[in-house]
Amino acid sequence: MEAHPVITRDLVCFVVVGLLMIRGWRVLNWAWLTPERLERCLRQQGLRGTPYSSLSGDFKQMISMRKQTRTKPMPLGDDIEPYGLLLFFINFSTNMVLLEACKVTVQIRRFIHVSTDEVYGETDEDAFVGNHEASQLLPSNPYSTTKAGAEMLVMAYGRSYGLPVITTRGNNVYGPNQFSEKLIPKFILLAMRGKALPIHGDGLHVRSYLYCEDVAEAFEVILHKEIENLGWSERVVWEDGLKKTMDWYTKHPDWWGDVSGALLPHPRMLAMAGGRNIDSEEPNGTKTLVKGPKLPNGSCNL
């Protein structure tokens, strides 16, 4: 698989899943982005007139400004499921490739590693003190475990080689154009179809959300300002962001094509106590609707 990391000439090597860097830090309108335009943007002429340059290569190779050498196969056991192995490669190995690339150049002023608040593990809703940057990392699933490992790797390169690294731990992002497997677009599309809303557990879990435009602005602030004096706060409150998202999906219900598979409950839900599928059939022929979730009344800061 070919990947295209973007390394700036005089600013930063910035890696973020879900945000595409084209002529500044913006949330890209996917209606504008076509395969042809994406390919053009990743070419050198597509970056002409911007402070960015493009390095193209296979992430499975160790990218170097002087030479490229292949990494040796890692002795991973057969007991690692394919999905977990993919997470390890994406979240850990590719970060090491980027860190190695940054280590051999003096052009990188900031390396922003985008992590997740899931590295803290589960947090009680009524906890007196929330998590902070020095809180213990207790990841509880393969995804958050690989993200925590990537954080340690980034920290190690910062301490060992003096790379100017910054790690962010944001929470859930939502907004228009998001793929339907995520909770908010899934619930919107299910409600539009008159379907029940599948949940895990008793429905009392709370999630925190940030609107996509706020996230893009946050990264721009982190890029340019002193880390101790960011002066950033979210602009789009929960109610407004949710309305914007609902309006978009109402106008574009078929944007992602057939998403019926993405709208199904997670397989683990059916294995949980009391878990049921959407409109699950009872032995007597009646249907049991799964209750909707208790959504948070606000979003947390990044």
CB 68 within 8 A of CB 57: yes
Residue 57: which residues within 8 A CB-CB, separation 6 or more? 2, 3, 5, 63, 68
**Which residue is associated with the tokens 């982190």?**
222
From the list 100, 143, 181, 213, the catalytic residue is: 143
Cβ-contact 96, 151 below 8 angstroms: no
Pairwise CA distance, residues 266 & 131, whole Å: 27
By 3-state DSSP, what share of the chain in percent is helix, strand and coil, each rounded to 5?
35, 15, 55
> Catalytic: 254?
no
Given a contact cutoff of 8 angstroms between Cβ atoms, the answer to whether 245 and 175 are in contact is yes
Query: Which residues fall within 8 angstroms of residue 20, CB to CB, at 6 or more apart?
Result: 28, 33
Q: Is 143 a catalytic residue?
A: yes
Find the radius of gyration of the CA atoms of the chain. 21
3-class SS of residue 189 = helix
Q: Which of 118, 151, 214, 234 is catalytic?
A: 118
Q: Is 211 a catalytic residue?
A: no
Q: Which residue has the tokens 């002023």?
A: 109
Place of tokens 């839900």: 269
Q: Which of 58, 78, 83, 117 is catalytic?
A: 117
| Residue in the structure block whose two tokens are 């990218």 | 63
The residues annotated as belonging to the active site are 117-118, 143
